[in-house]
Amino acid sequence: MSRMIEMKGKQFGRLTVIRQNGQDPKNADLLWECRCSCGNIVTVDGSRLRGGYVRSCGCLRRELARERYSQNAGFTKNMGNPQNLRTSDGIMVSSIKESQRNTSGVVGVSYDKTTGRWLSRLMYKGRYVLLKSFDTKAEAVEARKAAENLYWHKAESGNKQTVG
């Protein structure tokens, strides 16, 4: 059995060790309660603290991410772009609103010139629940409307199935 390394009062990055706070049941390492420079109190595994893997309560990571985002021209250019917006149900706003380029007149329905068939699409919570081709525009529109009713208008009921 190894001896306990006293760390009370020591500084590791933004964390200052306050006191020992038990033992990790997974690996028997000592846990230490630390106060971050931002004021938060966190419990950290001693070996991760000494190894430099943990340097703050998470505030440092958020600050560095915010800094990286602000320096990323592509990210800042797309901030506020309605094409990136989702509703609370995870539905892309762009899939609800008809595009100016839409020639079929129905959102999510398009004509594929190479195959000569009508495509019907619907994305829900980041994945396609409808991605199918049809011989006629009417069939494609009908499939799209059925999928919209199933996923968008009945989202509260929890009755979600894959269409097509």
How far CA 75 is from CA of 1, 70, 86, in Å, comes to 51, 8, 17
Domain that holds residue 57: 7-79
Report pLDDT digits (tens) over 27-67: 888 899 999 999 999 999 998 999 999 999 999 999 999 99
- pLDDT over 60 (residue 7): yes
Question: Both 97 and 148 in a single domain?
Answer: yes
Across residues 20-31, what is the average pLDDT?
86
pLDDT-derived band at 160 (thresholds 50, 70, 90) equals very low
Residue 164 lies in a domain: no
Number of domains composing the chain: 2
Question: Comparing 153 with 39, which gets the higher pLDDT?
Answer: 39
Place of tokens 């000592």: 30
Question: Both 139 and 88 in a single domain?
Answer: yes
Question: Both 38 and 68 in a single domain?
Answer: yes
Q: Which of 48, 79, 110 is the last residue of a domain?
A: 79
CA distance 129 to 89: 14
Are 32 and 43 contacting, i.e. CB atoms less than 8 angstroms apart?
A: yes
Question: Both 69 and 129 in a single domain?
Answer: no
Report pLDDT digits (tens) over 133-147: 999 999 999 999 999
Question: Both 97 and 118 in a single domain?
Answer: yes
- Look at the chain and count its residues: 164
pTM beyond 0.75, yes or no:
no
Q: Which two tokens stand for residue 148?
A: 């919209």
Q: Which of 79, 109, 134 is the last residue of a domain?
A: 79
